[in-house]
Amino acid sequence: MDAYKESFYPETLFGGFSNHDGTVAFYTRVNALAQPSFIVVDVGCGRGEHADDTVGFRRGLRCLKGKVARVIGVDIELTGRSNS
Protein backbone atom coordinates (compact mmCIF):
# COMPACT_ATOMS: atom_id res chain seq x y z
CA MET A 1 0.00 0.00 0.00
CA ASP A 2 2.83 2.43 0.76
CA ALA A 3 4.39 1.94 -2.69
CA TYR A 4 1.01 2.68 -4.27
CA LYS A 5 0.55 5.77 -2.13
CA GLU A 6 4.07 7.01 -2.87
CA SER A 7 3.72 6.48 -6.63
CA PHE A 8 0.45 8.40 -6.88
CA TYR A 9 1.11 10.85 -4.03
CA PRO A 10 4.89 11.37 -3.91
CA GLU A 11 4.45 14.22 -1.43
CA THR A 12 3.73 11.59 1.23
CA LEU A 13 7.48 11.00 1.32
CA PHE A 14 7.79 14.48 2.85
CA GLY A 15 5.63 14.56 5.97
CA GLY A 16 3.57 11.39 5.58
CA PHE A 17 0.40 12.94 4.15
CA SER A 18 -0.81 13.90 0.70
CA ASN A 19 -2.19 17.14 -0.70
CA HIS A 20 -5.56 15.35 -0.76
CA ASP A 21 -5.63 14.34 2.92
CA GLY A 22 -9.09 15.36 4.09
CA THR A 23 -8.14 15.11 7.75
CA VAL A 24 -5.31 17.62 7.32
CA ALA A 25 -7.53 19.96 5.29
CA PHE A 26 -10.40 19.84 7.81
CA TYR A 27 -8.33 20.20 10.98
CA THR A 28 -6.17 22.93 9.44
CA ARG A 29 -9.38 24.92 9.00
CA VAL A 30 -10.55 24.10 12.54
CA ASN A 31 -7.19 25.23 13.98
CA ALA A 32 -7.31 28.44 11.93
CA LEU A 33 -10.73 29.30 13.39
CA ALA A 34 -10.10 28.15 16.98
CA GLN A 35 -9.59 30.82 19.64
CA PRO A 36 -8.18 30.28 23.16
CA SER A 37 -11.55 31.28 24.68
CA PHE A 38 -13.60 28.77 22.62
CA ILE A 39 -15.37 25.69 23.92
CA VAL A 40 -15.30 23.03 21.21
CA VAL A 41 -17.80 20.16 21.01
CA ASP A 42 -16.40 17.23 19.03
CA VAL A 43 -19.45 15.27 17.88
CA GLY A 44 -18.46 11.74 16.92
CA CYS A 45 -15.10 12.04 18.66
CA GLY A 46 -14.43 8.31 18.73
CA ARG A 47 -12.21 6.51 21.22
CA GLY A 48 -8.99 8.41 20.60
CA GLU A 49 -7.48 6.18 17.94
CA HIS A 50 -6.03 9.32 16.34
CA ALA A 51 -3.42 9.27 19.12
CA ASP A 52 -1.88 6.27 17.30
CA ASP A 53 -1.50 8.23 14.03
CA THR A 54 2.09 7.82 12.83
CA VAL A 55 2.05 11.24 11.14
CA GLY A 56 2.90 13.69 13.92
CA PHE A 57 1.69 16.76 12.03
CA ARG A 58 -1.78 15.28 11.43
CA ARG A 59 -1.94 13.96 15.02
CA GLY A 60 -1.12 17.44 16.36
CA LEU A 61 -3.78 19.09 14.22
CA ARG A 62 -6.46 16.76 15.57
CA CYS A 63 -5.65 17.46 19.22
CA LEU A 64 -7.34 20.69 20.29
CA LYS A 65 -6.52 20.34 24.00
CA GLY A 66 -4.52 23.38 25.09
CA LYS A 67 -5.51 25.34 21.98
CA VAL A 68 -9.01 26.16 23.22
CA ALA A 69 -10.52 26.71 26.67
CA ARG A 70 -12.33 23.36 26.70
CA VAL A 71 -12.95 20.36 24.47
CA ILE A 72 -16.10 18.28 24.97
CA GLY A 73 -16.20 14.91 23.20
CA VAL A 74 -19.57 13.34 22.38
CA ASP A 75 -19.99 9.88 20.90
CA ILE A 76 -22.14 6.78 21.25
CA GLU A 77 -20.98 3.29 21.98
CA LEU A 78 -23.01 0.46 20.58
CA THR A 79 -23.10 -2.09 23.37
CA GLY A 80 -26.31 -3.85 22.47
CA ARG A 81 -28.17 -2.68 25.57
CA SER A 82 -30.68 0.06 26.18
CA ASN A 83 -29.97 3.00 28.47
CA SER A 84 -33.66 3.80 29.03
pLDDT of residue 1: 59
67 is a domain residue: yes
pLDDT digits (tens), the chain, 84 positions = 577 777 777 777 777 888 888 999 999 999 999 999 999 999 988 877 788 888 999 999 999 999 999 999 988 875 444 444
pLDDT of residue 38: 98
Q: How far apart are CA 76 and CA 44, in angstroms?
A: 8
80 is a domain residue: no
81 is a domain residue: no
Helix, strand, coil distribution of the chain in percent, nearest 5: 40, 15, 45
Task: Give the structural domain span for 25.
Answer: 2-74
12 is a domain residue: yes
Q: How far apart are CA 52 and CA 46, in angstroms?
A: 13
Q: How far apart are CA 66 and CA 77, in angstroms?
A: 26
pLDDT of residue 14: 78
As for how many domains the chain has, the answer is 1
64 is a domain residue: yes
**Residue 77 DSSP SS3:** coil
pTM strictly above 0.85:
no
